[in-house]
């Protein structure tokens, strides 16, 4: 009888040792990545920088972005080619959307980067049955001590009525210096973080890896060897995706593969810290200001409005645009387009909001 | 307000007083008249047959979760008591609550076992009682890491469970209204307290249900 009572009470005694935690306690990370940063930073430092203030590595989710037609169509003149070179970012480069967590890192010392939140829906591409997000790991010197990587944005020259249209002059460039990233461009070997929900659309053109295995459900680390820009353009013209060399592809669970980032000159990788105002290749044509004094510090060209010659869309315009790049000192590349006639939403609008074709500004270097 | 205005207000009020008194008197007399006119007392239409010392009840339980200071735990409870003016018995209940934070979704199941002693006072078809209960509360907790399944977490990274037991005391007011035959409506509720992690934690519990008394 006594033995039976003891046996019966044993589960109770064991249970009494349990500890309820409620909503407290440490939350298990959703995923952890091991990151190794390699290289010598001393020869890579920009002029005037003598040391690293606080080296960190940040996970940056990528944006879906299309370059504007002017940057990918053949340049109609050497001047236009110079503007493309000075003002167009790599059309196959990684474009950041959101900076997630960051942790301190040191050269050749593995660091663990953990996520406690999934990527939000706004960085995932696809529908709820098949969507994916990609991220790059960016090593940067946190010179403003904010603990995170601040993104920069192309800075535009002024245009008429910008304040009335709600445009802001733009935030100053980030002080952070980027020394490396695991995924800089699709035309070079990369290691990227993927987060996948549901199925995977192999025809998706969101940072495509055609020919490679799809990312694992949940988090994974992907690698690809990259494709050439020529191959990419040829594949796009044929309606396909540029293929990767399967031998360079890899898919692994986050715990299985460290992500290795090589130190590079900031000028080579700083575009991964440049976000974009628009992501659909749309262009806002601007009304010229009466006096544009800082053209000397920019590369400019007069060019026709770009057309793919498909016969669709708006009729080709006879307007000549002035395309202006950013300044050499700007962190991010960008273009500004001025026309003597047009509307903010449609340069070919029937009832233009401005028309200076009869009396262009004195500084206007192009024809009407 | 001036005295004159006050006086006018009182006069206006008392102006209708005779009408109100007359209406109440007429209503009362009409009610008496209807009773006298052959309406039988409710005890005749719904006779109470429960005379025994044993009482059983069961019903819906609502309570504050045992170890939380938020949320609403709902479930079922039952009990049996024996006695007259002083009664004793045992009770048990189960209730469950689920709440979320940014990181966790937590479900807590509370199993309450009580030995109870009650002081009862019959009043017409009803019984008022004050009931004191002592006993253990078993709390079974299940936690799920939010977003963990989508991220591919498994095992204890995704879910954890724990069971703990706490000494507890309840003090409830109980109203039993005999409805028909051996059946009654039972309402109870009051404060509770338990000792968890060396601290006294307050709460409350309530039950609505049916009783049966042979």
Task: State pTM to two decimals.
Answer: 0.77
Question: How many Cβ atoms from other residues are within 10 Å of residue A171's Cβ?
Answer: 11
The reply to whether B171 touches chain A by the CB within 8 Å rule is no
Q: Find the helix packing angle between B3-15 and B17-36, rounded to 10°.
A: 30
Pairing of strands A285-286, A335-338: parallel
SS3 annotation, B96-130? EEEEECCCEEEEEEEEEEEEEEEEEEEECCEEEEE
Q: Which residues of B touch A31 (CB under 8 A)?
A: 151-152
pLDDT exceeds 50 at position B4: yes
Q: Over chain A, what is the mean pLDDT?
A: 87
pLDDT exceeds 50 at position A20: yes
Indicate the pLDDT class of residue B30, thresholds 50, 70 and 90: very low
- Compute CA distances B93 → A115, B135, B168, whole Å: 41, 12, 13
Smallest Cβ–Cβ distance between B164 and the set A19, A28, A30 belongs to A19
Sequence ranges of the domains in chain A: 31-279
Q: Which pLDDT tens digit goes with each residue over B75-119?
A: 999 999 999 999 999 999 999 999 999 999 999 999 999 999 999
Query: B148 and A30: CB-CB below 8 Å?
Result: yes
Q: Which pLDDT tens digit goes with each residue over A352-364?
A: 888 998 889 888 8
CA distance A231 to chain B (A): 35
Q: Which pLDDT tens digit goes with each residue over A279-315?
A: 777 888 888 887 777 777 889 999 998 876 655 445 4
Optimal mutation site among B102, B151, B155, B157, interface A, most CBs of chain A within 10 A: B151
Closest CA to B116 of B131, B102, B138, B129: B131
pLDDT exceeds 80 at position A174: yes
Nearest residue of B to residue A20, measured between CA atoms: B162
Query: A23 and B106: CB-CB below 8 Å?
Result: yes
pLDDT exceeds 90 at position A347: no
Query: B67 and A21: CB-CB below 8 Å?
Result: no
Please work out, in degrees rounded to the nearest 5, the angle formed at the alpha carbon of residue A113 by the alpha carbons of A180 and A137.
25
Indicate the pLDDT class of residue A16, thresholds 50, 70 and 90: very low
The reply to whether A30 touches chain B by the CB within 8 Å rule is yes
Backbone angles phi, psi at A158, to 5 degrees: -70, 155
Q: Which of A11-25, A88-102, B5-19 has the highest mean pLDDT?
A: A88-102
Beta strand segments in chain B, E: 54-63, 73-83, 86-100, 104-123, 126-145, 159-180, 183-196, 199-212
Q: Which residues of A touch B148 (CB under 8 A)?
A: 28, 30
pLDDT exceeds 50 at position A236: yes
The reply to whether B104 touches chain A by the CB within 8 Å rule is yes
């Amino acid at each position: 009888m006594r033995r039976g009572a003891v046996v019966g009470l044993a589960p109770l005694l064991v249970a009494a040792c349990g500890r309820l935690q409620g909503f407290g306690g440490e939350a298990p990370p959703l995923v952890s990545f091991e990151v190794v940063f390699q290289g010598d930073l001393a020869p890579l430092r920009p002029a005037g920088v003598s040391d690293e203030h606080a080296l960190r590595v940040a996970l940056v989710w990528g944006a879906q972005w299309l370059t504007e037609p002017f940057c990918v169509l053949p340049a109609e003149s050497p001047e236009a080619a110079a503007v493309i070179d000075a003002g167009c970012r790599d059309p196959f480069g990684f474009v950041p959307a959101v900076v997630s967590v960051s942790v301190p890192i040191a050269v050749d010392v593995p660091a663990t980067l953990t996520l406690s939140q999934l990527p939000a829906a706004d960085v995932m591409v696809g529908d709820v049955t098949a969507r994916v997000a990609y991220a790059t790991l960016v090593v940067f010197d946190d010179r403003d001590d904010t603990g995170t990587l601040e993104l920069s944005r192309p800075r535009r020259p002024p245009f008429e009525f910008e304040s009335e249209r709600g445009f802001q002059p733009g935030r100053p460039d980030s002080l952070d210096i980027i020394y490396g990233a695991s995924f800089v461009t699709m035309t070079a070997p990369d290691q990227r973080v993927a987060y996948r929900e549901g199925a995977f659309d192999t025809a998706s053109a969101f940072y495509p890896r055609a020919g490679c295995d799809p990312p694992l459900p949940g988090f994974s680390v992907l690698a690809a060897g990259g494709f050439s820009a020529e191959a990419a353009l040829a594949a796009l013209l044929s309606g396909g995706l540029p293929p990767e060399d399967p031998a360079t592809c890899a898919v692994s669970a986050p715990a299985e593969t460290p992500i290795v980032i090589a130190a590079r000159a900031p000028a080579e990788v700083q575009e991964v810290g440049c976000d974009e105002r628009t992501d659909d290749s749309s262009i806002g044509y601007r009304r010229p200001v009466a006096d544009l004094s800082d053209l000397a510090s920019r590369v400019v060209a007069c060019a026709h409005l770009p057309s793919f010659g498909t016969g669709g869309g708006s009729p080709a315009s006879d307007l000549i645009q002035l395309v202006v790049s950013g300044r050499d000192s700007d962190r991010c590349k960008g273009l500004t387009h001025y026309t003597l006639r047009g509307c903010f939403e449609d340069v070919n609008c029937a009832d233009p909001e401005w028309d200076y074709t009869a009396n262009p500004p004195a500084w206007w270097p192009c024809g009407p | 307000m001036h005295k004159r205005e006050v006086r006018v207000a009182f006069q206006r009020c008392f102006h209708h007083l005779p009408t109100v008194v007359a209406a109440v008197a007429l209503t009362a007399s009409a009610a008496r008249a209807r009773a006298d006119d052959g309406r039988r007392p409710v005890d005749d239409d719904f006779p109470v047959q429960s005379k025994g010392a044993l009482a059983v009840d069961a019903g819906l339980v609502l309570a504050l979760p045992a170890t939380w200071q938020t949320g609403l735990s709902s479930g079922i409870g039952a009990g049996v008591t024996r006695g007259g003016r002083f009664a004793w018995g045992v009770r048990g209940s189960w209730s469950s609550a689920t709440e979320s934070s940014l990181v966790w979704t937590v479900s807590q199941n509370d199993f309450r076992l009580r030995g109870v002693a009650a002081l009862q006072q019959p009043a017409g078809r009803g019984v008022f009682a004050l009931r004191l209960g002592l006993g253990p509360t078993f709390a079974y907790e299940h936690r799920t890491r939010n977003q963990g399944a989508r991220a591919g977490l498994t095992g204890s990274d995704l879910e954890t469970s724990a069971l703990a037991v706490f000494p507890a005391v309840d003090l409830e007011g109980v109203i039993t209204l005999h409805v028909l035959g051996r059946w009654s409506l039972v309402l109870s509720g009051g404060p509770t307290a338990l000792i968890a992690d060396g601290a006294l934690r307050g709460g409350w519990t309530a039950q609505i249900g049916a009783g049966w008394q042979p």
